[in-house]
């Protein structure tokens, strides 16, 4: 019986060694906890690699394509040797992204540090005590409040919003408000618009902007992993200028406007790297004559407009489906009202 008790103790202690928590005791106080979190974040920053915060659902959703694309997104992050910061979940979209990063990391020939930083809260850990699939394979910062967790995650170089639910929406709105009010430095926000997932949200954000209730949000919208990889390459190429507070807003707008053109060029010339395509474009703007520059500017504008038109048609198709759904619901309600035996619908 004694041997058995010792074995149980060892099993209980093992996870605690892997997970680096931000715990607080009465002696340590709040400052000590934040210092420990900063110590982990500082170690990640010293690696001098780009860190991306991915916000997404803790559920898979009803469309399996979401999870498949999320896994490929993780692979793309790992392929570029980026660090992943996320809300620590082995479930749903977030779990698929993390698994994709791990899959890519394990295939590397060279030994690299674990590229995943999990940021959670004590409350969430208590809600999901069995969510330990990834905990032993990464650094974990356990924040004390949701606000502290958000701040730790937003220390990343840029943010990707993948399909998700209310938690993802909360993160997106919080980040937009922080950027709009100047509490967060301008950085790239990418919407991973898988199967038009963010169509309704984009329309809503445009609507409240047109009605004067908000600033225009500089979202980089991509529809698949291929476009995401091109966006990643552009962010890497402009990394220094993005980190400059003075130039960051203009650089993000530049990426948004030129991304469709670079995507087109990458499809036409798959053997050329995105950095080479960008260098060729920039050199043409610097050295070519006026007509050549104007022709290139027209190509960039045309590619941007074509992409927006394509998305608009996709939104119209979505709207048609929504209209059909609303019409069906209306018929159901009318039938239900008819069955009540009351014309005005009241009992």
* CA triple 77-113-116, angle to 5 deg: 45
Please name the residues in contact with 227: beta carbons below 8 A apart, sequence gap of 6 or more: 259, 263
Res. 346: pLDDT tops 60: no
Looking only at the bridges linking them, the beta strands covering 158-161 and 51-55 are: parallel
Cα dihedral across residues 86, 123, 142, 244: positive or negative: positive
pLDDT digits (tens, 9 = 90+) for 258-300: 999 999 999 999 999 999 999 999 999 888 888 999 999 999 9
Q: Which DSSP string do the residues of 228-264 spell out, in sequence order?
A: HHHHHHHHHHTHHHHTSTTTHHHHHHHHHHHHHHHHH
Res. 6: pLDDT tops 80: no
Percent of the chain exceeding pLDDT 70 equals 80
pLDDT digits (tens, 9 = 90+) for 221-239: 999 999 999 999 999 999 8
Q: Would you state the pLDDT for residue 267?
A: 96
Q: Would you state the pLDDT for residue 118?
A: 81
Helix count and strand count (H, E) for the chain: 13, 7
Q: Sorting pLDDT into bands at 50, 70 and 90, what band is 7?
A: very low
What does pTM read for this prediction?
0.80
90 versus 213: which is more confidently predicted? 213
- Tell me how far CA of residue 233 lies from CA of 124, 141, 153, 264, in angstroms: 34, 28, 22, 14
266 versus 343: which is more confidently predicted? 266
Q: What integer best gives the mean pLDDT of the chain?
A: 81
Fold of 19-187: Rossmann fold (3.40.50)
Cα dihedral across residues 109, 114, 117, 121: positive or negative: positive
pLDDT digits (tens, 9 = 90+) for 92-135: 999 999 999 988 888 876 566 778 888 888 777 777 666 555 55
**Does residue 83 contact residue 51 with C-beta atoms inside 8 Å?**
yes
Q: Would you state the pLDDT for residue 347?
A: 43
pLDDT digits (tens, 9 = 90+) for 159-199: 999 999 999 999 999 998 988 888 888 889 999 999 999 99
The closest alpha carbon to 256, from 217, 287, 286, 289, belongs to 217
Q: How far apart are CA 347 and CA 344, in angstroms?
A: 9
Task: Provide the angle, in degrees to the nearest 10, between the axes of the packed helices 64-79 and 92-106.
Answer: 40
Q: Sorting pLDDT into bands at 50, 70 and 90, what band is 72?
A: very high
């Amino acid at each position: 019986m004694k041997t058995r008790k010792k074995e149980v103790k060892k099993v209980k202690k093992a996870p605690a060694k892997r997970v680096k928590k931000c715990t607080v005791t009465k002696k340590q106080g709040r400052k000590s906890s934040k210092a420990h979190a900063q110590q982990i974040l500082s170690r990640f920053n010293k690696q001098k690699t780009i860190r991306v915060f991915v916000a997404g659902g803790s559920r898979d959703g009803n469309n399996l394509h979401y999870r498949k694309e999320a896994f490929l997104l993780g692979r793309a992050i790992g392929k570029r040797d980026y660090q992943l910061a996320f809300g620590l979940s082995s479930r749903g979209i977030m779990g698929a992204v993390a698994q994709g990063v791990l899959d890519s990391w394990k295939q590397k020939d060279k030994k690299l540090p674990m590229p995943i930083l999990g940021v959670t809260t004590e409350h969430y850990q208590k809600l999901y005590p069995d969510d330990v699939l990834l905990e032993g394979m990464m650094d974990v910062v356990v924040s004390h409040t949701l606000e502290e967790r958000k701040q730790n995650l937003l220390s990343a170089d840029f943010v990707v919003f993948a399909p998700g639910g209310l938690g993802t929406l909360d993160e997106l709105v919080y980040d937009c408000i922080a950027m709009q009010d100047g509490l967060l430095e301008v950085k790239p926000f990418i919407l991973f618009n898988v199967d038009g997932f963010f169509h309704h949200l984009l329309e809503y954000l445009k609507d409240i902007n047109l009605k004067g209730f908000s600033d225009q949000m500089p979202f980089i919208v991509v529809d698949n992993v291929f476009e995401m990889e091109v966006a990643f390459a552009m962010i890497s190429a402009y990394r220094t200028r993005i980190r400059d507070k003075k130039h960051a807003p203009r650089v993000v707008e530049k990426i948004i406007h030129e991304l469709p053109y670079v995507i087109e060029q990458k499809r036409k010339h798959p053997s050329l790297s995105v950095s080479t395509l960008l260098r060729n474009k920039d050199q043409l703007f610097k050295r070519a004559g006026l007509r050549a520059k104007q022709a290139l500017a027209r190509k960039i504008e045309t590619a941007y407009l074509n992409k927006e038109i394509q998305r608009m048609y996709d939104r119209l198709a979505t709207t048609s489906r929504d209209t059909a759904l609303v019409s069906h619901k209306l018929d159901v309600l009318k039938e239900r009202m008819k069955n009540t035996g009351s014309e005005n619908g009241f009992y």
